[in-house]
A and B are shown apart, each in its own frame.
Chain A
Amino acid sequence: MDQIRHKVAIVGAAETDDLGQLPHMSRLALHAQSAKNALDDAGIPLSDVDGLLCAGAIPNEVAEYLGIQPRYIDGTSVGGCSFMIHVRHAVAAIMAGYCDVALVTHGESGRSGVDAPRGGSASSPGGQYEAPFAIGGAPTTFSIPVLRHFHEYGTTKEHLAHIAAATRAWANLNPMAMMGSHRRAPERGGGPITPQDVLNSRMICYPFNLLDCCVVADGGGALVLVSEERAKDYAKDPVYVLGAGEAAAHWMVSQMRDHTTADGYRIAGEAAYKSAGLGPQDIDHCMFYDAFTFTPLMAAEDLGFVPKGEGGPFFAETKTGPDGEVIYKSGPGGDFPMNTNGGGLSYCHTGMYGMFAIIESVRQLRGECGDRQVPNVNVSMAHGPGGMFASAGTLILSNA
């Protein structure tokens, strides 16, 4: 157990007012609105913020836009797990006295593309050694490890389809979820789905059908962190950071050391467990970044919830509920509650989804989740990759 445990707390967490299709909002406006909502959630004025951490924007851009001059900044921008890493860095910065109130912001016009720069240099490694082979975005690269995992361990598309169905079942309980029954009619693809629906959906990039892929959205989210001593002064019950880890394993997915194991997940996970003094058996609730159905399966294996190679059968296990309904392993009523906001698959995915995973961990720990509240959540893990399993960030959070 190292010295970061229980020293810093998240006291504010919120998304933008809406998620989905927001063509009237730019990238920086999404950062700013989520900052306002998280600060309001905490009851802290913007003028108190003296630490700023963000991804998809240079900290100076966001600071200038907000009109603040923070004395601590971190622009780590390594994909969707950047925000888990920001929380880890904010803990260290607050403990070091570099700042007192840390604001972490995310805003991305992932669907409408309002100020959303795309594409890298043709001279970068990715530009020379991957892009020329008709790489078409995340469905063609996040999918690359999957068939190797199938080959080595017998994992199947049917296994993965259960994760999509379970996650949709959570979305149906979350009024904010884009593909949930509240927001999208069945004739437009919303509401409950079965594993067979996933397999029947349009092929995007084998082995991923449409319903193996996350939704594409505009949106943002933000967090506010303060020291443990100050944490009880604010509006909501604090959520303490018990443990945290991060890693950079590779950048191009073709260069992943072992396509069946995310080294970054293991490194970040081990650091998080060590600092928290906890293990997988102590985690009540998991938010595992799900850009695609396969992504959380890799997390469950590499973070020690299930032995390597057994993730497929683990997630495909179902039981029958009192009214004859199917209860999925990771769905409502299942014994491995995961991605309870509806996930990147069915709630919202802006491009760097990790922020939303942390927000849901905070809400579950506060007991704010209404119909989708998991009983007795005291310890939650929020974990994600950045890039295609390239970097990783892991947080272990608690309400006590």
Chain B
Amino acid sequence: MADYAGRLPVATPESQPYWDGLKEHKLMLPTCDDCGPHFYPRPFCPTPNCFSWDIKWTEASGKGKVHTFVISHQPIPPYHTEDNAPPYVIAVIELEEGPRMMSNLIIDDPYSTTVDMDVEIVYDDVTDDVTLPKFKPV
């Protein structure tokens, strides 16, 4: 895993609980009592008429739908290799709880992906420290 060649996120103090959650294979969402969960993590509720700073972390179900997607045929060296070659799916997932997030869909035939397809989370431990939230068809 030490030779992972993809781009890695670096957490900020505000997003650390999110990345720590993924490492434990939990999808944690910052949540406002009044407005519900949001994505991406901010230390306040990003609903303009709320803007509450009273945020709790809640665990999401990991279920969702493909809101929209693309199938990229462009290799990104050094991440893509002969064994890990395009095409691959980049998708916006709409979580069951409402928020949307960018991810990859793990699917044998990228062209079998459809808008609104049901998906569930896959925890991809790409390094000892970083787990990326990816999705697969249910």
When distances are taken between beta carbons in the complex, the residues of chain A under 8 Å from B72 are 134, 136, 139-140, 204-206
Q: Smallest Cβ distance from A152 to chain B, in angstroms?
A: 9
Using A133-B90, A133-B103, A134-B6 as known contacts, say yes or no to A144 and B74 having CB atoms under 8 A apart.
no
A385 to chain B, nearest CB (A): 17
Task: Report, as a range, how many residues of chain B touch the other chain.
Answer: 35 or more
Docked CA distance A255–B88 (Å): 21
Say yes or no for B121: interface residue by CB 8 A criterion: no
With known contacts A133-B90, A136-B76, A259-B92, A207–B70 Cβ distance under 8 A: yes
Which residue of the partner chain B has the closest CB to A122? B10
User: Shortest beta-carbon distance, B8 to chain A, in Å?
Assistant: 6
Once bound together, how far apart are the Cα atoms of A259 and B102, in whole Å? Answer: 13
Q: Which residue of A lies closest to B71 (CB)?
A: A206
Given A122-B8, A134-B6, A134-B90, do A129 and B101 touch, yes or no (CB 8 Å)? yes
Neighbouring A residues of B8 by C-beta, 8 Å: 122, 132
B28 close to chain A: CB less than 8 A:
no
Interface size class of A (residues with CB under 8 A): 35 or more
Encode contact with B along A122-136: 1 for CB under 8 Å, 0 otherwise: 110101111111111
> A148 to B76, Cβ gap below 8 A?
no
The answer to the question of B50 belonging to the interface, with a C-beta cut-off of 8 Å to chain A, is no
A252: interface (CB < 8 Å): yes
B73 touches A203 (CB 8 A): yes
Name which residue of chain A comes closest to B70, CB basis: A143
Question: Smallest distance from the beta carbon of A63 to chain B beta carbons, Å?
Answer: 34
Q: Which of B19, B40, B79 has the most CB of A within 10 A?
A: B40
Contact yes or no, B92 A128, CB < 8 A:
no
Counting CB contacts under 8 A, is A145 at the interface? yes
Quick check: B10 and A128 within 8 Å, CB to CB? yes
> Which residue in chain A gives the minimum CB-CB distance to B15?
A128
Residue of A nearest to B132 (CB): A132
A147, CB-defined interface residue at 8 Å: yes
Q: How far is the CB of A253 from chain B (nearest CB, A)?
A: 8
Contact A254 B87 (CB under 8 A): no
Q: Is A24 an interface position by the 8 A CB rule?
A: no
CB atoms of B9 and A128 under 8 A apart:
yes
Partner of A134 from the list B40, B68, B104 (CB cut-off 8 Å) is: B104
Q: Is B11 an interface residue (CB 8 A)?
A: yes
Within 8 A of B (CB), among A176-222: 202-208
Q: Do A144 and B9 form a contact, CB below 8 Å, given A252-B102, A254-B102?
A: no
Q: How far is the CB of B123 from chain A (nearest CB, A)?
A: 13
Q: What is the minimal beta-carbon distance from B34 to any residue of chain A, in angstroms? A: 20
CB of B100 within 8 A of chain A? yes
Q: Is the CB of B40 within 8 A of A144?
A: no
What residues of A have a CB within 8 angstroms of the CB of B71 in the complex?
A: 205-206
Task: Say whether A118 faces chain B, with CB atoms less than 8 Å apart.
Answer: no
Q: Does B69 contact A (CB under 8 A)?
A: yes
Contacts of B68 in A (CB 8 A): 144-148, 151, 259
The minimal Cβ–Cβ distance linking A361 to chain B, given in whole angstroms, is 31
B115 interfacial contact with A, CB 8 Å: yes
What 0/1 pattern do residues 74 to 116 of B give for CB contact below 8 A with A?
1010011000000110101000000011111000001100011
A143: nearest residue on chain B (CB-CB)? B70
The residue from B6, B70, B73, B87 contacting A132, defined by CB atoms under 8 A apart: B6
**When each residue 108-133 of chain B gets 1 if its CB lies under 8 Å from chain A and 0 otherwise, what string results?**
00110001100000000000001010
Complex interface: chain B residues within 8 A of A134 (CB):
6-7, 72, 76, 79-80, 88, 90, 104
Per-residue contact bits, chain A 41-60, to B (CB 8 Å; 1 contact, 0 not): 00000000000000000000
Tell me if B10 and A144 are in contact (CB < 8 A).
Answer: no
B1-33 interface bits toward A, Cβ cutoff 8 Å, 1 = contact, 0 = none:
000001111111001000100000000000000
Docked complex Cα distance between A204 and B88 (Å): 11
In the assembled complex, B63 has its CB within 8 A of some CB on chain A = no
Give chain B residues whose Cβ lies under 8 Å from the Cβ of A131. 7, 9
B70/A133 in contact, CB under 8 A: no
Q: Does B136 contact A (CB under 8 A)?
A: no
Shortest distance between the CB of B132 and any CB in chain A (Å) = 5
Q: Can you report 10 residue pairs joining A to B where beta carbons are below 8 Å apart?
A: A122-B7, A129-B39, A129-B40, A132-B130, A134-B80, A136-B72, A146-B68, A147-B69, A206-B73, A259-B67
Which residues of chain B have a CB within 8 Å of any CB of chain A? Answer: 6-12, 15, 19, 39-40, 67-74, 76, 79-80, 87-88, 90, 92, 100-104, 110-111, 115-116, 130, 132, 134
- Report which A residues bind B (CB closer than 8 A): 121-123, 125, 127-137, 139-140, 143-148, 150-151, 202-208, 252-255, 259
Besides A128-B40, A132-B130, A133-B102, 20 more A-B contacts (Cβ < 8 Å) are A122-B7, A122-B9, A122-B10, A127-B9, A128-B10, A128-B15, A129-B39, A130-B102, A132-B7, A132-B9, A134-B6, A134-B76, A136-B72, A140-B90, A144-B70, A148-B115, A150-B115, A203-B73, A206-B111, A255-B40
